[in-house]
Every structure is written in C-alpha cells, then in structure tokens.
Amino acid sequence: MADPAPRSPLAGHRHRLAAATRASRGAVRLAEIPFLTLLDVRLDPKGAAAGAVGLALDLHLPVQPHTVGRSGDLTALWLGPDEWLLVAPPGGERRLERRIRDAAGDEPVSVVDVSAQHTTLLVSGPRARDLLSHGCALDLHPRVFGPGRCARTTLGRTQVVLVAREPHRAGLRVLVRSSYAGYLTDWLLDAATEYLRDTAAP
C-alpha cells in the first residue's frame, strides 16, 4: 500500500490565507511554501571545509552577518559566525547532505536536516513589511532589510528566520517551526485585519 501524501503544517489554513489575500485586494498576500529542503550547517568559516563545501555546491557561504548567498535554486542564510541554513527545493535533503559531507571529508562539520521541523510562509504585497512590523522589532524598511538580507528574530513572539527575497521576487519568506506555524498564521491574519478593512471600500 502506497504511503499517504505528506500533509503540510498549514494545509488546514490554506483557505484562510487565500481568503485574506482576496479580501485585501492584494495589499497583503499570504501563502505557505511547504516542504522546502532545510539543512542547518555548522563549520569553521576559516577552515578547509568551508572552501571545499563552497566549491562543491558552487555557493559561497556568506560570512557577513545577516546576509544571503545564492546559486541557482540553493540559498545559504547566515545564522551565526559558524552556522548557516541551506534552503533548496523539496526532496533534495539526502543528496545535499551527502555532497556537503563528501566535500568536507575528514574536516569537522555538522549537518542537520531540519526540513520536517519547519515550514515557510510567503508574505508579500505593498503592505507586507507594515504587517510584519506589527510584531517584529527589526527595521524592515527596504533600505535596511532589502534583498540579500536575512535575520533570526522574533515575530509575534515566535522565533523565525526572515529572508528578504530578490528584487524580481517580491515579499519576504518567514521560516517557522511547524509546531508554531498555526499560531503564527493566526497572528498574521489578526494583524492583517486593518488592511482588509482599508481595502474593503470601493
């Protein structure tokens, strides 16, 4: 008997996110991006493993705080001086982990698959940053938190990773633990109420 199709953490909230997007007439757009590959990688940024892994992935691991490295469909988010979160399309966890470990060889490296522990919300639209600012202490103005920036922070009292997308891909990604995804969705929908009212009039 075939295994049942996986169910995303926010499958039961999909209609609510879509309804809020419609009610705002595009002022805010909310959607889940489920099942992304997420690997937490820790290594010495000055050691041999950093260069070898970067070469194997064709991706420079960013060393500047709160910055993002990209190569094709692979993204590296700086989380700390020796820690990155690698983000890739669904289904590539084992292959990506193997490439990292093979490249590192005998050099010390930690690779933890956290894909199943998280989901991703896409928050976009002209009022997206205003919406997130209701519950985030960071300055989210595009001049400060523009494309190529990321941060581990708190949103609506929930630990998240925020990622500003490329200029041609509007909005921000919000990576959140699956166990808190429903709560954060409720918070976002409640915080978005004023934009639904503002756009309700003809």
pLDDT in tens, 57-85: 999 899 999 999 999 999 999 999 999 99
- Reported as a single tens digit per residue, the pLDDT across 138-185 is 999 999 999 999 999 999 999 999 999 876 567 899 999 999 999 999
Burial of 107 (C-beta count, 10 Å sphere; 0-12/13-18/19+): middle
- Distance separating alpha carbons of residues 41 and 27, to the nearest angstrom: 36
pLDDT band at 197 (very low <50, low <70, confident <90, very high): low
Percent of the chain beyond pLDDT 90? Answer: 88
pTM recorded for the entire structure? 0.92
**Residue 54 tokens, joined:** 């970067």
